[in-house]
Chain A
Amino acid sequence: MLEIKNLHVKLEEEDKAILKGVDLTVEAGTVHAIMGPNGSGKSTLSYVLSGRDGYQVTEGGATLEGQDLLAMEPEERAAAGLFLAFQYPVEIPGVGNMTFLRTSLNAQRKARGQDEISSADFLKLVREKAKALKIDAEMLKRGVNTGFSGGEKKRNEILQMAVLEPKMCILDETDSGLDVDAMKLVADGVNALRDQGRAFLVITHYQRLLNHIVPDVVHILAGGRIVKSGGADLALEVEENGYADILKEVA
């Protein structure tokens, strides 16, 4: 599904290398987790994959189902099935949440040569998905993320994912700022979408989300490189011993 090869990334504005040769293959039907200390480059990886400005790829590349991701515009990547649940979802006052969802869905459908979804089908779809995430109608009426609490913003990211049904979902610290109940809602939302045709890359700083979304593979990103990979128990090791031990061990 997603293949990242020897990816080197620096900031566009300054000579600061952030990713220094990331290799990662995520197969369809699997959940991979990336853990790592603050500042190790986790968000940078998610932004580069989704096409945010400000970064420069100096070496290596990334493909989604064989297509060169880095050559595409952000909207083309989305239409190809890539989705990023933002670490910091953006507030857009004046653009209604429903308008935003419908515009996004229809833009992707159009890019794939599909018809626009009917208003009735769209409403039904959103109501059903929102209900599962305990997002009420009042929240949907407001501007995108406008005045939402941290937890509401994260649930809203998962709602977008549920409505857009992407193939490759990257979740950047979706667990941060969530209480236990909200984390369960988010995890249920993700688990409901798990299937053979879809893959997840779950970025997290802590292990606890991975109790609910059990990963197939766990990677440790440190200093811009994946320094260790393992099974779900690698996350437990991080939880118990912190990153220091692992970093020492691979140094």
Chain B
Amino acid sequence: MMALAEQRKLDALDERLAALGRPPSGGCLGPAREAALARLRAMGLPGRRDEYWKFTRPDTLNAPEAQEAAVFVASETQLFGEIDRVKLVFVDGVFDAEASDDPVLGGVTIERLEEVATRDIHWAKDLYGVLEARGQDPVARPLAALNTAYARDGVAIHVTGKAEKPIALIYWHRNTRSDAVLHNVVRLDPGAELTLLENGPAAARFNKVLEVDVGAGAAFHHVRAQGRDHERRAATHIFARVDEGAVFKTFTLTANGVLTRNECVVEIVGDNAVAHVAGACVGDGDFHHDDTVFITHDALSCESRQVFKKVLRNGATGVFQGKILVKPGAQKTDGYQISQSLLLDGDSQFLAKPELEIYADDVACSHGSTSGAIDEDALFYLRARGVPRAEATDLLTLAFLAEAIEEIENPALRADIHGRLEGWLARRRKTG
């Protein structure tokens, strides 16, 4: 007899799928979508008893309908506004050609997902759902399979040379009940380079997958900011495959959002490659932020870094689950992982599960996780020099976040992100 819990899981999945309606017409992506749906049926939706969801309740991500989320009207200028970029705008998860730039960029071709489906674009077909499927082992990621099966929109970006400027995916949230499922795929040919920017809350509930195939010697830089809508929810996945001598770097800023689960699954398959995954989040009050990272080393002399910093106050919760898996033979691996939280009061909490699993003997891996309050000695030192308490606290908070922000290589992007964090802190200083 099937256990009750499992039956419940299946029922929940049926309800969820019924609410999603028919999957989009597949075209050449049909087989990938069908395979993903089969995977999802085999896995079921994430459950509260699943070890991988121990710290984060998946209920509202599983629910058939998105919960209402008010649209936040930001007072400040657009993020990355000063950066020369190709803008592609999605409103509640639907591409808006009017609001977007022409998708024309030297060294790059950009297609919408539906074009990939109808025109049978081979490289994209060979990538769509493929890295996601690989990323299901050894840990199930049902929401990503759901995404592959049901994604309504997204872009396929093929980088053949050095992209002339960054591509910016901008996600507007207009409808308080929107439930967006977006799937983007990026392929960088050997030696190609791209900076991908993403920002915005996207929807009341957002499920997004980004698959990135970084060819030999290629470089992919990714900077995203998840939008400040307090009530939004998001489950995002990045799946990356990093080939020989390639560089993969991703940074995420999260300020606000009632629930965020960001998974990043990186497989390093070529020697001498580099993968950095970083994030800074700041949460105040009703805020639950989960970074779940899995980096697999399956090649020689590769370097990976996971750098996550969380500032939490007024009962906010931060979660970090990070793993470095070093496969047999992946000698000379240099793996680093740090996850830290700054708790600005006693109500906030940080839950961390750092893991190392190493099957090679000649490796250098380190990890650390800490949780602490503002350093009182440093605070007094600043105040003794005339800096008022609130301002001094902000300075120390930014200093705490610095190691994560410094993971952003481009100085202009780094300054933009730094400015956002400064603004976030300063606004809270005024409201007390």
Taking beta carbons and an 8 Å cutoff, which residues of A are in contact with B?
A: 50-53, 73-75, 77-79, 83-84, 86, 89-90, 92-95, 99-100, 103-105, 107-108, 111, 143-144, 160, 164
Residues on the A chain within 8 Å of B401, using CB = 94
Give the chain A neighbours of B153 by CB distance below 8 A: none
Are B383 and A92 neighbours in the complex by a CB distance under 8 Å?
no
Q: Which of B375, B388, B396, B400 contacts A75 (CB 8 A)?
A: B388
If over half of B's interface residues share one DSSP class (helix, strand or loop), that class is named, otherwise mixed; here it is helix
Determine how close the nearest CB of chain B comes to the CB of A118; give it in whole angstroms: 18
A111 / chain B contacts, CB cutoff of 8 Å: 386
B384, A84: Cβ atoms under 8 Å? yes
- The chain A residue with its CB closest to the CB of B400 is A94
Shortest distance from the beta carbon of A24 to any chain B beta carbon, whole Å: 20
How near does chain B come to A140, taking the closest CB pair, in angstroms? Answer: 15
Q: Which residues of B contact A (CB under 8 A)?
A: 375-378, 380-389, 391-392, 395-396, 398-403
* Pairwise interchain contact A103-B387, C-beta atoms closer than 8 A: yes
Given A73-B383, A95-B395; 16 other pairs, CB 8 A cutoff: A53-B376, A75-B384, A77-B384, A78-B386, A90-B377, A90-B378, A92-B396, A92-B399, A93-B399, A104-B385, A104-B386, A105-B386, A107-B385, A108-B385, A143-B399, A160-B385
Tell me which residues across on chain B come within 8 A of A99, comparing CB atoms.
395
The verdict on A95 contacting B383 (CB below 8 Å), with A73-B389, A103-B391 known, is no
Q: Is the CB of B376 within 8 A of A107?
A: no
Bound CA–CA A100/B395 (angstroms): 9
Nearest residue, chain B, Cβ from A91: B378
In the complex, what residues of A have CB within 8 A of residue B376's CB?
53
Complex CA gap A105/B377 in Å reads: 20
How many angstroms between the C-alpha atoms of A193 and B27 in the bound complex? Answer: 80
The interface residues of chain B lying within 8 Å CB-to-CB of A90 are 375, 377-378, 380-381
Looking at the complex, which one of B380, B384, B392, B399 makes contact with A94 (CB distance below 8 Å)?
B399
Interface pair A164/B385, CB less than 8 Å apart: yes
- B383 lies within 8 A of A164 (CB): no
CA–CA, A111 and B376, complex, Å: 22
Contact B399 A51 (CB under 8 A): no
Pairwise interchain contact A164-B386, C-beta atoms closer than 8 A? yes
| B381 adjacent to A107 (CB under 8 Å) | no
Report the Cα distance A164→B385, complex, angstroms: 8
**Is there contact, CB below 8 Å, between B387 and A75?**
yes
Contact B386 A92 (CB under 8 A): no
Q: Which residues of A contact B377 (CB under 8 A)?
A: 90
B398 partner residues in chain A, CB cutoff 8 A: 94-95
The distance in angstroms between the C-alpha atoms of A164 and B391, with both chains bound, is: 18
Q: Let me know if A94 and B403 touch, CB within 8 A.
A: yes
Cβ of A174 to closest chain B Cβ, rounded Å: 15
B392 to nearest A CB, angstroms?
8
Shortest Cβ gap from B420 to chain A (Å): 17
- CB <8 Å contact, B383 and A103: no
- Chain B residue contacts of A108, Cβ below 8 A: 385-386
With both beta carbons as reference points, the residue of chain B lying nearest to A94 in the complex is identified as B399
| Cβ contacts A to B, 30 pairs, < 8 Å | A73-B388, A73-B389, A74-B380, A75-B384, A75-B386, A75-B387, A75-B388, A75-B389, A75-B392, A77-B384, A78-B386, A79-B386, A83-B384, A86-B381, A90-B375, A90-B377, A92-B375, A92-B399, A95-B396, A95-B398, A95-B399, A100-B395, A103-B382, A103-B391, A105-B386, A107-B388, A107-B391, A111-B386, A160-B385, A164-B385
Q: Which of A78, A92, A105, A143 contacts B384 (CB 8 A)?
A: A78
Give the complex CA separation of A10 and B212 in angstroms. Answer: 62
Which of B382, B389, B402 is A100 in contact with, Cβ under 8 Å?
Answer: B382
A122 to B403, CA, bound (A): 27
What CA separation (Å) do A105 and B391 show in the bound complex? Answer: 13
Measured CB to CB, the closest approach of chain A to B77, in angstroms, equals: 22
Give the nearest-CB partner of B395 in chain A.
Answer: A95
Q: Which of chain B's residues have a CB closer than 8 A to the CB of A160?
A: 385
Write out the residue numbers on chain A whose beta carbons fall within 8 Å of the beta carbon of B396: 92, 94-95
